[in-house]
Structure 1
Amino acid sequence: MTFTQSQNDKFDAENLKDSKEIVSSNTNYKLKIFNNGMNLLAHILIGTVVGTAILFCFRAGTMDATRIHIILCVLGYQLLMSQAILSLSPHNSWSSSLKLVHKRRAHWVLQILGSGLAIAGSIIKILDKTVHWNTLHGQFALVALVFTGVSFINGLTSLYAYELRRILPTTLSKITHICFGTVAFVAASTCLCYGFDKMFFRNWATPQLSATLIGFTAALTFIIVVTPVFNFADKTLRVFKR
């Protein structure tokens, strides 16, 4: 009787273990599907927002400084820099199969190209205007420009964190790079939302489409910055726990 009871207990324990593994496996699978779906949605939103902005710039009329400014900044911030952030995500479609060293390389290439286009686009508009940063669009553009430059320089210290570890702690370098880059991207997206709300764009796209694009921009920004924000919080908590 005791032997039978022992066998039953062992059988129940094995079934319980198997059940937990199945539940865990199903949960991980559902989470993976959700993350992949969000990544796909982010790419669709990026394509829609960037494509509409570019189409607006190639409407009838001359290619003036404002149009060049929009093209360069949208390509720099919303296309290339968003892909630079996503390239490090484990759920990103085109970079998920890359080795970590190649992900970082892709991140740097995209960041350099995106920062270059965004900074060039900003400078072109600054030279074209006589009064600067007197609107919320311009003020957020300035924040994005400053933090883009700081993030780019700070990224060099993050890239060579091991070599500079005696001067600057490795973790601090990475935390500040995540922080500066996230602020730059959020500010750039906010700036774009104010751009979509400008009257000359609303007249071309209709108020309904303008509001839709603002919503799309907000959604893609949230999806893209979720992982960096969690990484920032995780690394910061680890520093304080030491």
Structure 2
Amino acid sequence: MSEKKPSQISVIQHIEAALYVLNQLCIGFVTLWVSWMCLRKGLTGIYLHVWLVTFGFIFLMAEGMMCFYDGSWLTLRYTRKYKTAAHVVLQVIGGGMGVAGCLIQLIRDKWTIAVTTHASLGFAAFILCLISLLSGLAAVLARAMSRAVSPLINKTFHVVLGFAAYVIAMMAQYYGYAQTSLFKGQGADFVILMRVATLVSMVLTTIGAIKSLYQKVVSLTS
């Protein structure tokens, strides 16, 4: 059994690396296409909202979540300290852009939420992202707050919130392709392609978060 471990680890690493590349391709495709479309329109009106939430949630937040992923060749050689710094910066900027995009749309709609799955999920992501950013600050200050709240509990709460905010934001994006007029003009096949790329990216991005959450739950219950 001990002789097979190196090959088993190597196979797992190769699979994770391949999935990471596939994820980056999906993220890049969606982000570049939406950015190109919105920039052509001058980032005005609804296009500013679409670009901010796409670039913030799909690109920056996803990259921030994958900083600790074992298959991430971008951060593989960095220490935990630098991974944490990159995670914080990407999450703050990405979450901030996503929140700003949602806020802009709420102001445009005079603080009324449209009766669509996309709008409802988008508002939920807006609220959860705000809370997640605050919990992230608490996680960074976990040592200083250790007397009041266990750092492990604090970080577990942050992972759960971040995971929920990201998944709901991605589902809002998923429904947005079919429920907004911006993408319908590209044809049904293109909408399906964007939806598939978004779902694949969501699943692959959350692998690391699920692993982290599992480890923290095990530590809490042991």
TM-score bracket, shorter-length normalisation: over 0.9
**Is 1:116 aligned to residue 116 of structure 2?**
no
TM-score (norm 1): 0.87
* Equivalences for residues 3-42 of structure 1 within 5 A: 20-42=1-23
1:157 shift after superposition:
1.2
Alpha-carbon separation, structure 2, partners of 1:240 and 1:157: 22
2:205 to 186, 205, 224: 224
**What is the percent sequence identity of the aligned residues?**
18
Can you list the C-alpha shifts for 1:24-43, whole angstroms capped at 9, x where unaligned? Answer: 11111110000001111111
2:115 to 128, 134, 146: 134
1:220 shift after superposition:
0.7
Can you list the C-alpha shifts for 1:136-192, whole angstroms capped at 9, x where unaligned? Answer: 111111111111111110011111111110011111101011000010110110000
Contact 1:140–1:187 (Cα < 8 Å) also in 2: yes
SS at match of 1:161: coil
RMSD of Structure 2 on Structure 1 (CA): 1.4
**Aligned match of 2:68:** 88
**Aligned match of 1:46:** 27
1:207 shift after superposition:
0.5
For 1:116, the aligned partner's letter is G
1:227 shift after superposition:
1.6
1:195 shift after superposition:
1.0
2:154 to 169, 173, 182: 173
**Aligned match of 2:87:** 107
1:21 shift after superposition:
3.7
Alpha-carbon separation, structure 2, partners of 1:55 and 1:197: 19
Contact 2:156–2:216 (Cα < 8 Å) also in 1: yes
Structure number with greater Rg is: 1
**Is 1:191 aligned to residue 176 of structure 2?**
no
Alpha-carbon separation, structure 2, partners of 1:133 and 1:200: 14
Alpha-carbon separation, structure 1, partners of 2:122 and 2:32: 20
Alpha-carbon separation, structure 2, partners of 1:206 and 1:120: 29
Q: Which runs of 4+ in 1 moved over 4 A?
A: none
1:126 shift after superposition:
0.6
2:126 to 145, 152, 155: 145
Contact 2:65–2:205 (Cα < 8 Å) also in 1: yes
Q: Which has the higher contact order (CA 8 A, sep 6+)?
A: 2
1:219 shift after superposition:
0.7
TM-score (norm 2): 0.94
Contact 1:144–1:184 (Cα < 8 Å) also in 2: yes
Evaluate the alpha carbon distance shift between residue 62 and residue 89 of structure 1 in structure 2; reply closer, same or farther with a 3 A threshold.
closer
1:54 shift after superposition:
1.7
1:63 shift after superposition:
4.1
**Aligned match of 1:16:** none
